Amino acid sequence: MPDPVLEVQGLHKAFGDVVAVSDVSFSLARGGSLAIVGESGSGKTTVARMIVGLERPTAGTIRACGEDRSRPTASTRERRRRAREVQIVFQDPYSSLDPRQSVTRSLEEIVRFHRGGSASERAARVAELAELVGLDERQTRAMPQALSGGQRQRVAIARALAAEPQVLILDESVAALDVSIQAQVLNLLAEIRERTGVSYVLISHDLAVVRQLTEEAIVMRGGRVVEQGTTARVLDDPQDDYTRLLRASVPRPGWKPARRPRSSCN
């Protein structure tokens, strides 16, 4: 793959005797979208936590925008750079936001850290982010408790995008939402990718979501990759017995967003 935005090679993670991830390798194209699917406990979240830097790999390498991020760093400059490469949105919109901070303040804080600028420039960027995720002015001024689950997840997505990452990891990010809100957030995510050129790693056990949002997929089982290919091929013509089993719940074919690759990391 020419100039991938994310490259994972031989990734391995053991927690004591438990091998959570074993020899996982994949690449993500710039502006692309890759799904990681697999049953509960197959190692998906551990892969995501290693990519974002919340967990240290036992072995293997992770490169984003060509830069190694496999080892921890104490440097603020390096942490800031890494945060601009990869951000993550978790599943639970109820616990991921600080209840003492309004949406505006929580976005402004990240804009200040990553972009700086004057108060009016920061306010303009907060308004831009709110618009990108479809939050109106009242919702943007609100405290998180005053927002619904879907609105909170939009805030979590805006916070992740505030760092202007090249890669956004979505770890079951729509799983806690009810079906109609889930559809809205999925459409929003597709639109954001079109508008910003950000790349997605989508972790999901919901194959309808995977089909809607990704072009490539890997299937994990027991910490290993058992199948990988285009999402359409993996879902429609699975080669591995386990993928066939997963596919028992496969949804109707959905639409796929066009992708608009970015030309550079900076």
Ligand X SMILES: Nc1ncnc2c1ncn2[C@@H]1O[C@H](COP(=O)(O)OP(=O)(O)OP(=O)(O)O)[C@@H](O)[C@H]1O
42 counts as binding ligand X under rule CB under 6 A: yes
* Per-residue interface string for the shown chain with ligand X, residues 201-220, x marking contact by CB under 6 A: ----x---------------
43 counts as binding ligand X under rule CB under 6 A: yes
Pick from 114, 112, 106: which is nearest to 135 by CA? 106
221 counts as binding ligand X under rule CB under 6 A: no
Q: Find the shortest distance in angstroms from Cβ 205 to ligand X.
A: 6
The torsion angles phi and psi of 225, rounded to 5 degrees, stand at -85, 120
In this structure, are strands 167-171 and 86-89 parallel, antiparallel, or unpaired?
A: parallel
54 counts as binding ligand X under rule CB under 6 A: no
Q: Find the shortest distance in angstroms from Cβ 192 to ligand X.
A: 24
Residue 220 half-sphere exposure toward CB, CA atoms < 13 A = 29
Q: Find the shortest distance in angstroms from Cβ 20 to ligand X.
A: 3
Pick from 67, 73, 1, 61: which is nearest to 30 by CA? 1
**Which position among 6, 8, 37, 44 is part of the footprint of ligand X (CB under 6 A)?**
44
Output 148 or 249, the one with its CB closest to ligand X. 249
113 counts as binding ligand X under rule CB under 6 A: no
Q: Find the shortest distance in angstroms from Cβ 58 to ligand X.
A: 12
Pick from 166, 216, 220: which is nearest to 196 by CA? 166
The torsion angles phi and psi of 161, rounded to 5 degrees, stand at -75, -20
Q: For residues 151 and 137, what is the distance between their CA atoms, to the nearest angstrom?
A: 12
Q: For residues 64 and 46, what is the distance between their CA atoms, to the nearest angstrom?
A: 17
Q: Find the shortest distance in angstroms from Cβ 40 to ligand X.
A: 3
Output 63 or 205, the one with its CB closest to ligand X. 205
Q: Find the shortest distance in angstroms from Cβ 113 to ligand X.
A: 27
Q: For residues 184 and 186, what is the distance between their CA atoms, to the nearest angstrom?
A: 5
45 counts as binding ligand X under rule CB under 6 A: yes
Q: Which residues bind ligand X (CB under 6 A)?
A: 15, 18, 20, 38, 40-46, 205
